[in-house]
């Protein structure tokens, strides 16, 4: 899927670079000269190959980080790219709120900081929230020892999909603006719609929220296997009190995860569209660097990735050498 999206994006990027003046936010650039003097088939082929090759390289780097490093490599690469925009966002916030000489803007800056802390706290709570389902294991006697009989818990996360729905939704939303520019380069309505869908308009956030909601269920349906979990529980002598083993257990887990996913998807969608309301309240233009750190995709990805890295760091064993003896310490035990 990633390579297919890269092929489509590579073609539209190559086409856009041949006529950059048709893009609403790049109008007037033609007076500085032509970017591509000879846009022949070799130009399109080279551009597409370059974008696809870069995508494959990033996928490989992400896999290497996942395999040999800590955390999800792809998410870490995206997070680093987001953090790189933080200095520019701070400068923009300083120039707008502090140098604006407005009491209202000063008050709104305090409100935005409080809102930022609240959203971060809520995102952390959602990411770590889980429903613990009691699992009872039948007693077994092996020789003179008795095993089982204790109660353990099966944790089901509210935000099981993590940041993947956001990544999928934003990737899909990047295609319509390119298609509008390709098929309707001179239409006024297409230029207006292009502005709405190019990353800062209201339509972008509305469609993004809907996409996050749908992709949350899509990801859970792909990754969460209630039938396999029910089979493993039955094979190991475990059962959920009040639920029969086998298919009833799988149906119960599927129904429970569907309700948890609904709550998590709603919250993710709300946080994603939050920059629209914040921007209108303080008068910041859509797509501002400041807004992406007060909700939306960037904040969700950063919080999710940082928590995931912290969780994996805590599970890594610590090797301590004492008098020539290697001691292994693990915080989870």
**Count of the separate structural domains present in the chain:** 1
CA-nearest of 129, 232, 233 to 241 is: 233
Count Cα neighbours of 86 within 13 Å in the Cβ-side half-sphere. 9
| Domain assignment present for 5 | no
30: DSSP letter: G
| Domain assignment present for 55 | no
Place of tokens 């207006």: 192
Q: What is the pLDDT of residue 199?
A: 60
| Domain assignment present for 203 | yes
Please check whether residue 140 is in contact with residue 161, taking contact to mean a CB–CB distance below 8 angstroms.
Answer: no
294: DSSP letter: S
Q: Compute the distance between CA of residue 36 and CA of residue 25 in angstroms, rounded to an integer.
A: 19
User: Which residues have C-beta within 8 Å of that of residue 141, sequence separation ≥ 6?
Assistant: 147
Domain containing residue 251: CATH number: 1.10.3370.10
Q: What is the pLDDT of residue 28?
A: 60
User: Phi first, then psi: what are they for 171, rounded to 5°?
Assistant: -65, -40
- The whole-model pTM stands at 0.68
| Domain assignment present for 142 | yes
| Domain assignment present for 76 | no
Q: What is the pLDDT of residue 49?
A: 93
User: Which residues have C-beta within 8 Å of that of residue 199, sequence separation ≥ 6?
Assistant: 177, 287
The enclosing H or E element of 253 equals helix 247-282
User: Phi first, then psi: what are they for 239, rounded to 5°?
Assistant: -155, 155
| Domain assignment present for 152 | yes
By residue range, what is the domain housing residue 299?
112-329
| Domain assignment present for 85 | no
Please check whether residue 18 is in contact with residue 35, taking contact to mean a CB–CB distance below 8 angstroms.
Answer: yes
Mind giving me the DSSP string for 144-203? TEEE---EEEEEEETTTTTTHHHHHHHHHHTHHHHHHHHH-TT-HHHHHHHHHHSSSSHH
| Domain assignment present for 197 | yes
Please check whether residue 279 is in contact with residue 288, taking contact to mean a CB–CB distance below 8 angstroms.
Answer: yes
User: Which residues have C-beta within 8 Å of that of residue 278, sequence separation ≥ 6?
Assistant: 112, 115, 284, 291, 294, 295
Q: What is the pLDDT of residue 148?
A: 58
Task: Tell me the pLDDT of the chain (333 aa) as tens digits.
Answer: 778 888 888 887 887 777 766 555 555 666 655 667 777 888 889 889 999 999 999 989 988 888 877 777 888 888 888 888 888 888 888 888 777 677 777 787 888 788 888 888 888 888 788 898 888 877 766 666 665 567 788 889 888 887 788 878 887 887 787 777 677 767 777 777 777 777 666 777 788 888 888 999 999 998 889 999 989 888 888 888 888 888 899 999 999 999 999 988 888 888 877 777 777 777 777 667 777 776 666 777 788 788 888 877 777 666 555 555 655 555 554
């Amino acid at each position: 899927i990633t390579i297919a999206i890269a092929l489509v994006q590579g073609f539209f990027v190559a086409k856009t670079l041949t006529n950059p003046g048709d893009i609403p936010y790049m109008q007037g650039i033609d007076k500085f000269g032509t970017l591509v003097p000879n846009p022949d088939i070799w130009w399109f082929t080279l551009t597409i190959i370059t974008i696809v090759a870069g995508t494959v390289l990033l996928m490989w780097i992400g896999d290497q980080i996942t395999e040999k490093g800590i955390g999800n490599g792809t998410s870490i690469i995206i997070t680093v790219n987001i953090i790189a925009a933080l200095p520019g966002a701070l400068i923009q916030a300083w120039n707008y709120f502090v140098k604006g000489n407005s009491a209202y803007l000063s008050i709104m800056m305090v409100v935005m900081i409080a809102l930022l802390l609240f959203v971060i706290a809520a995102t952390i709570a959602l990411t770590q929230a889980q429903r613990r389902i009691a699992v009872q294991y039948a007693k077994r006697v092996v020789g003179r020892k008795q095993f089982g009989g204790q109660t353990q818990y099966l944790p089901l996360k509210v935000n099981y999909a993590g940041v993947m729905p956001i990544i999928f939704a934003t990737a899909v939303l990047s295609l319509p603006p390119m298609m509008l520019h390709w098929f309707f380069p001179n239409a006024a309505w297409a230029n207006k719609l292009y502005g709405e869908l190019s990353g800062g308009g209201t339509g972008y956030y509305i469609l993004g929220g809907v996409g996050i909601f749908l992709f949350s269920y899509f990801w859970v349906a792909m990754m969460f296997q209630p039938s396999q979990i029910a089979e493993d529980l039955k094979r190991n002598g475990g059962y959920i009190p009040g639920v029969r083993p086998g298919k009833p257990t799988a149906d119960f887990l599927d129904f429970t995860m569907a309700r948890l996913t609904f709550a998590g998807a709603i919250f993710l969608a709300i946080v994603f569209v939050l920059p629209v309301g914040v921007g209108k309240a303080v008068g910041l233009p859509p797509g501002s660097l400041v807004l992406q750190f007060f909700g939306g995709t960037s904040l969700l990805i950063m919080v999710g990735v940082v928590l995931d890295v912290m969780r994996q760091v805590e599970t890594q064993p610590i090797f301590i050498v004492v008098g020539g003896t290697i001691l292994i310490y693990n915080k989870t035990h």
